[in-house]
Amino acid sequence: MAFFEIKNVRIIGIASCMPKHVCYTKDSLVNDKYNADEFIRSTGIESRRLDESYTTSDLCVHAAEKLISDLKWDKSEINVLIFVTQGPDYLCPSTACIIQDRLKLSKECYASELPLGCSGWVYGLSYAASMLSRGTVKKGLLLVGDARLFQKTTDPLVGFAGTATAIEYSEGATGFQFHFGTDGSGYDAIIIPDGGTRNQVSQSSFELEDVDGKKMNRLESRMNGMDVFSFAISTAPKSIKKAMTYFNRNLSDFDYCILHQANIQIDEIIRKKLNLTADKVPYSLKEFGNTSSASIPVTISTQLKGKVENKHTEFICCGFGIGLSWGTVMFSTDNLFISDLVEV
Amino acid sequence: MEKLLKSIAEILEVEEVDCRKKLSEYEEWDSLAGLSLIALLDSDYGITMNGKEIQSFDSIEDLCNEVLKRTKL
């Protein structure tokens, strides 16, 4: 029963950064099986932001700088930095340490990295919130994103994004209520087989293999779409329902339900299972694609800008995917600050 | 059974399915068709099946029998 409640902490602001370069599905799809229209219909993705000259940490640093400056935060007060990504700058050291220096944060900083994908923002939030809820540290940054193509030329889903979420100790705040789950038996549903210590890089890592009709090498990420699909449509609604039952909440309590932007079919099935109207479940998928762990903050910052800034808003968010790993979080914001989208 | 066969025929884009055939013997059977079938079993029958399971059946008839068995439980 992985339920947690963490009080006295709240989200103050969110910023997202993406590359300027827009990649349109209709221009870029390399697949003889489906045409672009069919692909857009089944995924809901019309365009994405891609630019391989940026790493995840580059995008997150831009988002963080913008948010820190918008909030007029004193950098010396930021003593918690959590970086969530599946695309670190190096295999080691931790990119979180590098970001501490790039942002010129105090050396009195707890910096740690969490290698999770689509569930990553929710997990990262639980880390940051639990560090801050004690009140000994007042301000923390959660930097989350991925800027890495699954496959070099044919990846049709992924959009690059780096996000920053500003979290603050706040005496008396209702905080966060979480439900988490993990099923490592599905570890190979989405996997890069080589490059870690289990299968170290060798000559054979570069040899092309036939994976579900596609040629790819063992350093590219492969996905068993059907397994991920059946996992997502069954697990995400269950996690949301479990969280609500445990904490005695109702879906009608929430202004918005933000789902990981997997693809339109998955998200629509989840939305319908929860009987939620479309206006409560905004999507950033159409314009920005599947932005991995960044998809929840990207959806909030691009789709809810102008709708949540000057009021109280109740959120329920669910991230689910690679691991397999999932998490649901419920929280409220008052006058949430959303920075303008940073484009680099 | 008839309703399920009709839905499978729609997914495979054929008039009628031959129960003795495997899903993979149909030209239209691919990962997108698989997703449609998983979604159908989930929404209309309340059954969660993953890709491996769906493709493990020797015939469409076996798949249908399994679905019927599970819906009766």
Partner B contacted by A69 (CB < 8 A): no
**CATH number for the domain that contains residue A153:** 3.40.47.10
* Cβ separation B43–A226 shorter than 8 A: no
Average pLDDT rounded to a whole number, residues A128-143: 96
Residue of A nearest to B28 (CA): A33
3-state class (DSSP) for residue A321: strand
Q: Pick from A226, A233, A265: which is nearest to B54 by CB?
A: A226
Residue A68 lies in a domain: yes
In eight-state DSSP terms, residue A340 is P
What whole-number distance in Å separates Cα of residue A47 and Cα of residue A147?
A: 15
* Span A9-23, average pLDDT: 97
Beta-carbon contacts of residue A124 (< 8 Å; ≥ 6 apart): A82, A84, A114, A116, A142, A144, A165, A293
Q: What is the mean pLDDT of residues A203-217?
A: 90
Q: How many domains is chain B partitioned into structurally?
A: 1
Residue A6, domain extent: 1-187+251-344
- Closest among A225, A182, A83 to A140, alpha carbons compared: A83
A46 burial level (CB within 10 Å; 0-12, 13-18, 19+): middle
The domain that holds B25 is classified in CATH as 1.10.1200.10
pLDDT value of residue B56 = 87
A29 — phi, psi (to 5°)?
-70, 120
Which of B13, B38, B44 to mutate against chain A (most A CBs within 10 Å)? B38
B32-72: pLDDT as tens digits = 788 889 989 988 898 988 888 888 888 898 888 889 888 87
**Per the domain annotation, does A230 fall within a domain?**
no
Q: What pLDDT, on a 0 to 100 scale, did the predictor assign at position B55?
A: 84
Per-chain mean pLDDT for chain A? 94
Contact (CB<8Å) A269/B32: no
**Which run of H or E residues covers position B67?**
helix B60-72
Q: Which residue has the higher pLDDT, B61 or A28?
A: B61
Give me the domain span that covers residue B50: 2-72
Domain count, chain A: 1
pLDDT tens, A219-267?
999 988 889 999 999 999 999 999 999 999 999 999 999 999 999 999 9
CB spacing of B31 vs A269 below 8 angstroms: no
Minimum CA–CA partner of B47 in chain A: A234
- In the block, tokens 């798949």 appear at B63
**C-alpha distances out from residue A252 to A248, A279, B59, Å:** 12, 13, 44
Mutate to test the interface with B, among A183, A226, A264, A269 (most CBs of B within 10 A): A226
Q: How many CB pairs under 8 A join A and B?
A: 47
Chain A residues whose beta carbon lies within 8 Å of the beta carbon of residue B51: 224-227, 229-230
Q: Is pLDDT of A321 > 60?
A: yes
Q: Is A320 part of any domain? A: yes
